[in-house]
Chains A and B, each alone.
Chain A
């Protein structure tokens, strides 16, 4: 019905090749629907993380000294490198989407593979962090052992630390799997300057994961550290 953007025969051919679903009139409408769908999904993600951030805020207001003490137990160097790794991966995927739009398929494959690799690096580094915390007996419910006046607030902090970083890492893991799969599909030639919506929307998701981390990093690793 909205056939201004493509002729009737073009639309029929797109439908036959399975590139245009039956509920859409033309590719533009399909693309806009997918994009809006992703933005709505991302808004739900913000609310998901919002619950954790709100819990953090309440607990931090209740126990400011305890949270400052706990913050000093985290590994700032690792956290900083992880931040750099994740931000770099986000720029790689943005370049990857641009490359696909310019039909530079090979470049795009490398950029996507790089994104997935950096995502994996992030996860591995987090694994090392968790392991260090395990050896230092910082894991609540498992082997937490800290004394002093703030012991319970530190334990509370680490509960939140694991919920937040764990939930975030789940998102990184999902992203890495999807992006690695997309790299393979780009290599097989499934995408091009006419067909890149999936890539673009995955990149949006990846940027959100990145932005969430930009909040997580200062809240857990930096705030109150020097006090």
Chain B
């Protein structure tokens, strides 16, 4: 491990994981966590834009109260496809499978994840699941909503429910295996001296998220299998004709899907916890509290699923318990927001593009979280349920939060991953544009929901038109801000200036190796420091 290849010194292009082996075959059979991360990033970028096209159709249709573009059936399929693709093929794998895969071994000083072959298998499962879902789209789509509520999905829907369920089921295993791999990697492959409380918070985020992935995803897989069987056989546990319980489906589905929300947001918190100390050049405020907060979110996240079902005939007492538990999640979440803010205090702050994304994340996540508290109160949830208020709430968390953080992370580690610097002015412009476009798209939806516009309808009452047009206008700005990075990041691959090992003067082991890192990650063993030791010089 400590040997230096002779040709690294002489070659014009230094040896790295990118050019260690050539040819498509070497990529498709690679066991290198860094290459698998790049394979994932290609997959999720593709699905992000596919889901984005569905979102565009939805926003175009809602320009007119009578529906500008789609008939009701196609509209149902558009929002279902948007939901399924964005949740399972973009958000869930986004940060863990790309940045997590790339960075986790680097951050703990390991040569790879614990099970590299399983890691590649995970990617193939993800792609297979994706192909099933695309097949379903090509064969006419699916119209159940991403939630597959029974008995509609089992007894009445005539669309390709089965194919999509198989797709999500298969992709679920990719999530489970990624989580398993990360847990074992963090437990067993930390380099000597890298104790648990020296780990960067991104690693802790990956640990917390992996626990959720491993313990929640099987519930989804089994529940979808039960739906598939019920559709195929005509009988099953959710079948009301047998006295089966459709509400049981909702319980099982949300037992997975609420923790899944934390699968999407915990990694984003990890990314923000890396970026903010770096661009404030200051140690993170309250490191241990940040760790405990993430673990607390992961644990309490399992106990709050009932808040999706306040209007589904739940008893007042059950509603009360779920409501209190949901309020409880806000405590660790608030600790995180306070600590990010406190980290900035007296820091040497610079507003590079990753920092703009990270600050955008903190603000939008906070607004999304606060409105989540409103929805956690049954008295407010009953009138707001199934309105655009809910849509706005979770898009603030998922898109404003997770996607902003994902892009922040991509910008922050881009020099490490590719060895190139992108155009900073364009990146800043794009980050600001995204923040503005996002708020213009989704803030009006809070108002729409508050005024009573229901979700999942192709048509709406005329008095809602102004806000809907505003929202669609915002969406077009948002679309541009998502396309822009594709161009300037792509451009930087060919024309970007060479980044150097540590362009941001950041701490963390990943910055001690070359950019891009060599196949075995480190030429010489990195020096372990407490994470975020910005008061000391970089080793």
Contact = CB atoms under 8 A, between A and B. Distances in A.
Interface residues of B, number: 45
B233 A51 contact: no
Contacts of A23: 105, 110-114, 116, 189
Contact of B192 (A2, A37, A40): A2
Given A37-B180, A155-B242, A163 B189 contact: no
Interface string B101-117: 00001000011111110
Interface residues on A, range: 35 or more
A141 interface: yes
Contact of B235 (A36, A54, A155): A155
Contacts of B217: 44
Interface string A118-141: 000000000000000000000011
Nearest to A51: B222
B221 interface: yes
Contacts of A48: 218, 221-222
Nearest to A160: B237
A32 interface: yes
Interface stretch (A58-66, A177-185, A211-219): A58-66
Contacts of A144: 235
B188 A33 contact: yes
Contact of B112 (A22, A140, A159): A22
Contact of B187 (A36, A54, A152): A36
Contacts of B121: none
Contacts of B245: 58-59, 62
A63 B252 contact: no
Interface string B191-215: 1100000000000000000000011
Interface string B208-242: 00000011111101110010010001111101011
B183 interface: yes
Contacts of A198: none
Given A23-B189, A48-B222, A156 B243 contact: yes
Contact of A58 (B181, B236, B248): B248
A47 interface: yes
B163 interface: no
A31 B217 CA distance: 26
Nearest to B33: A23
Interface in B114-167: 114-116
A56 B223 CA distance: 13
Interface string A11-44: 0000000000111100001001100110011011
Interface string B327-365: 000000000000000000000000000000000000000
Nearest to A55: B237
B113 A44 contact: no
B184 interface: yes
Given A44-B214, A50-B219, A141 B233 contact: yes
B539 interface: no
B233 A140 contact: yes
A36 B242 contact: no
Given A1-B525, A22-B111, A55-B226, A47 B252 contact: no
A36 B188 contact: yes
Contact of A44 (B116, B180, B187): B180
Contacts of A141: 233-235
A46 B245 CA distance: 22
A51 B218 contact: yes
Given A36-B188, A51-B222, A159-B236, A152 B215 contact: no
A6 interface: no
B176 interface: yes
A contact face: mostly helix, strand, loop, or mixed? helix
A37 B183 CA distance: 8
A69 B222 CA distance: 27
Nearest to A31: B188
B490 interface: no
B286 interface: no
B315 to A, nearest CB: 14
A79 B222 CA distance: 24
A52 interface: yes
Contact of B214 (A43, A140, A153, A163): A43
Contacts of A37: 114-115, 180-181, 184
B115 A59 contact: no
B535 to A, nearest CB: 28
B196 to A, nearest CB: 15
- Among A21, A36, A52, A55, find the residue whose CB has the most chain B CB atoms closer than 10 A: A55
B244 interface: yes
Contacts of A156: 237, 239, 242-244
A60 to B, nearest CB: 11
A222 to B, nearest CB: 21
A29 B222 contact: no
B425 to A, nearest CB: 40
A54 B215 CA distance: 15
- Among B113, B223, B248, find the residue whose CB has the most chain A CB atoms closer than 10 A: B248
A85 to B, nearest CB: 26
- Among B183, B214, B244, find the residue whose CB has the most chain A CB atoms closer than 10 A: B244
Given A55-B237, A62-B243, A33 B114 contact: yes
A203 to B, nearest CB: 19
- Among A29, A37, A43, find the residue whose CB has the most chain B CB atoms closer than 10 A: A37
Nearest to A158: B235
Given A36-B188, A40-B183, A59 B237 contact: yes
B237 A63 contact: no
Nearest to A44: B218
A33 B189 contact: yes
A33 B184 contact: yes
A51 B223 contact: yes
Interface string B242-258: 11110010001000000
A32 B186 CA distance: 12
Contacts of A24: 189
Contacts of B235: 140-141, 144, 155, 159
A50 B223 CA distance: 11
A155 B191 CA distance: 56
15 contacts: A1-B191, A21-B116, A22-B520, A29-B189, A33-B188, A33-B189, A36-B188, A37-B114, A40-B180, A58-B245, A141-B233, A141-B235, A144-B235, A156-B244, A163-B237
Given A47-B219, A47-B222, 4 more contacts: A33-B115, A43-B215, A44-B214, A51-B219
Counting from the closest, the 6 A-B pairs by CB-CB distance are A51-B222, A23-B112, A141-B233, A47-B218, A33-B188, A141-B235
